[in-house]
């Protein structure tokens, strides 16, 4: 539901923000994330199995908490972005952004005319409290929304400064898995060429003065990444936390009860 974007406020105040990836499309794990006190969550529709109804259920589960609901769309698709925003997403992340033109298209999809191309249905959508806060939403949505471009390719790295300069882009998000894969070193995030590419990207983002986010990578914990200059870090995913706890418990059991 329409409210102040607490994540944008935290970052503007110079604070670091820890998040959780919601990969399961499940409202119970979303609620657990809110109860645990995560600063933000990422509802993942690029690789996750969820649909818009499950996304709304997740956002409803988080409505009582000071946890910002970010939403990764599958692609830079104005229609999908519009639906995610109407459902109540407080931030949009677009994957595989490689050029300033692509970043401008993402921003335009998030904004109402005259500053963008987003279709207006504020008299009925959840984002505007089903029309009950229509005027407030129209007036405040542009300032409250967080727009994130994900950099995941060598071409994206080359164009970092141009992407960062696009009006409306709040954050650049480093995708280490796709960067390593697109460089030809899949699952080798510690390869020297991958490390060099990540270091170059990090410096470019910092020099551009944009907020910077990422996910965990091999051998690093969230604080390592915060200390390296990241503003938001995903501490893992709901599926990953369940997997890791389950595997560890069964492994411990088998070791003593083989």
Of 196, 194, 207, 197, the C-alpha closest to 164 is 207
Q: Residue 153 carries which DSSP code?
A: S
In angstroms, the CA 59 to CA 193 distance is 39
Catalytic residue at 241?
no
Beta strands in the chain (DSSP E): 17-22, 40-44, 68-72, 91-94, 146-151, 171-174, 211-215, 232-237
User: Which sign, positive or negative, has the C-alpha torsion 118, 17, 161, 185?
Assistant: negative
Question: Is the separation of the CB atoms in 97 and 163 below 8 Å?
Answer: yes
Catalytic residue, chosen from 45, 47, 191, 253, is: 47
DSSP state of 98: -
Residues known to be catalytic: 47
């Amino acid at each position: 539901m329409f409210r102040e974007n607490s994540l944008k406020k935290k970052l503007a105040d110079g604070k670091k923000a820890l998040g959780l990836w919601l990969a399961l499309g499940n409202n119970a794990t979303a609620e657990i994330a809110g109860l645990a006190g995560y600063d933000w969550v990422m509802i993942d529709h690029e690789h996750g199995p969820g649909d818009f109804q499950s996304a709304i259920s997740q956002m409803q589960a988080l409505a009582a908490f000071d946890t910002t609901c970010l939403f990764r769309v599958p692609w830079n698709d104005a229609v999908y972005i519009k639906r995610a925003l109407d459902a109540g997403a407080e931030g949009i992340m677009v994957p595989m952004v490689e050029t300033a033109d692509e970043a401008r298209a993402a921003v335009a999809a998030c904004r109402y005319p005259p500053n963008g191309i987003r279709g207006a249905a504020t008299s009925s959508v959840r984002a505007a409290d089903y029309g009950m806060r229509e005027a407030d939403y129209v007036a405040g949505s542009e300032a409250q929304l967080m727009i994130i471009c994900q950099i995941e390719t060598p071409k994206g790295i080359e164009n970092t400064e141009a992407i960062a300069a696009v009006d409306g882009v709040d954050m650049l998000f480093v995708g280490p898995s796709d960067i390593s894969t697109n460089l030809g070193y899949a699952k080798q995030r510690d390869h020297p060429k991958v490390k060099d590419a990540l270091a170059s990207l990090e410096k470019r983002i910092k020099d551009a003065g944009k907020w910077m986010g990422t996910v965990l990578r091999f051998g690093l914990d969230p604080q390592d990444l915060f200390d390296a200059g990241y503003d938001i870090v995903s501490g893992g995913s709901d599926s990953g936390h369940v997997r890791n706890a389950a595997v560890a418990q069964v492994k411990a059991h088998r070791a003593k009860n083989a």
